[in-house]
Amino acid sequence: MGANRCGRVREMEKRLFPEAMETERLSLRRYDCEHVTDIARLVRENREQLVREFAQLAGLQDRGQAKAFIEEKTKQWEDERAFCYGIWTRAETKQIGQIQIKNIAWEVPSAELSYFIDREQQGRGYASESIAAVLRVAFGEMQFERIFVRILPVNRESFQLARKLGFQEEGLHRKAFRCGFGELHDVRYLSIVAEEYGKKV
């Protein structure tokens, strides 16, 4: 009985993503109550671009709603349902985006990756750097088998980025996503699996 219990504890510990990841230019951190001001500012300055694909974030109108958002993400983290990170620049300590591991199927294991970068910071490779950090942990420490992304056909930049990072297109899901404007969109699915990631690195 004791050995089985220890095995379960080790398995649970293995499944937890680290609370922070560091890259050359960025710091990815699990949200906590100290980040309310940062996320509120980020949403305020990017609301227009967030509405289409990140309606929940775009709907954060004040510090109270930002605090509730962080509390929700904390609960999801503790339940191992999703792992959400804010993205900060290491040099300026300014939050410039968010990246999240969600829709996790632990029995595979596989998960969806979603992310966005501040409109003023796009084109500088920050999204690539953040995604690469998460993939290293997911396929390395966490031994995931598959990571996938969902991208609207109109988002050509995100599609090109996913392909550059080694994601393979799986197909088009027709009329599968209603965006924050109420429009119904087709969705492209792309994924990268452990074997492909191992060859890439």
- Could you tell me the residue ranges of all domains in the chain? 18-200
What does CATH list as the number for 18-200?
3.40.630.30
Q: Give 102's strand partners.
A: 112
Query: Positive or negative, the Cα torsion across 76, 47, 53, 178?
Result: positive
- The confidence score (pLDDT) of residue 161 equals 96
**Nearest by Cα to 28 from 122, 137, 148:** 137
- The confidence score (pLDDT) of residue 93 equals 83
Contacts of 48 (CB under 8 A, 6+ apart): none
Local structure of 201: helix, strand or coil: coil
- pLDDT tens by residue, 15-37: 689 999 999 999 999 999 999 99
- The confidence score (pLDDT) of residue 201 equals 66
Cα 112 from chain centre: 8
Please identify every stretch of the chain with a pLDDT value under 70, giving residue numbers as ranges: 1-15, 201
- The confidence score (pLDDT) of residue 136 equals 97
